[in-house]
């Protein structure tokens, strides 16, 4: 399924042990196991093993302060495998980083998925105005 973009918004819940159902459509694209790590804006990033390899190759080209900052993505990364019910276990350190408790929103964002606390995602997305969206599309000549 390489080359297929991840897309969509999925609402799920997380149990007290940190298990959550991961969307079937995204699992199909990401593979049998995938990588979860910290992301920007207080969410978690989820990569297929193939895309993670490409990403880490690019990270290795960084030097200085950028390389130092990028290490956080590597040292916080873990491989997860969905169980028979399609659930994944998010480690405690990643749950704390993204403030994940119960209600979670999973997004497909082209080459990765993102896992958000639902309330934080609503707040984040409400800050994006139509003008900002229009400016972004104008830059793409779309």
- pLDDT, one tens digit per residue, over 66-96 is 888 888 899 999 999 999 999 999 999 999 9
| pLDDT of residue 1 exceeding 60 | no
Count of domains observed in the chain? 1
Place of tokens 């991961």: 22
Confirm if 104 and 13 have CB atoms less than 8 A apart: yes
Residue 73, SS3 per DSSP: helix
Confirm if 73 and 37 have CB atoms less than 8 A apart: yes
pTM of the model: 0.89
CA–CA distance, 119 with 129 (Å, rounded to integer): 18
Residue 123 lies in a domain: yes
Q: For residue 111, what are the domain limits?
A: 6-139
Residue 1 lies in a domain: no
- pLDDT, one tens digit per residue, over 53-74 is 998 998 888 888 888 888 889 9
Residue 131 lies in a domain: yes
User: What CATH number is associated with residue 54?
Assistant: 3.40.1550.20
């Amino acid at each position: 399924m390489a080359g297929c973009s991840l897309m969509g918004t999925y609402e799920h819940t997380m149990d007290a042990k940190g298990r959550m159902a991961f969307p079937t459509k995204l699992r199909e694209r990401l593979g049998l196991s995938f990588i979860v790590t910290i992301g920007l804006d207080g969410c978690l990033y989820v990569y297929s093993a193939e895309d993670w390899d490409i990403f880490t190759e690019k990270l290795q080209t960084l030097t200085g302060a950028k390389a130092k900052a990028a290490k956080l993505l590597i040292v916080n990364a873990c491989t997860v495998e969905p169980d028979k019910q399609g659930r994944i276990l998010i480690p405690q350190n990643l749950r704390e980083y993204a403030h994940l408790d119960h209600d979670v929103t999973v997004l497909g964002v082209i080459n990765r998925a993102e896992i958000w606390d639902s309330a934080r995602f609503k707040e984040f997305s409400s800050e994006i105005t139509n003008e900002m969206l229009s400016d972004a599309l104008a830059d793409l000549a779309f």
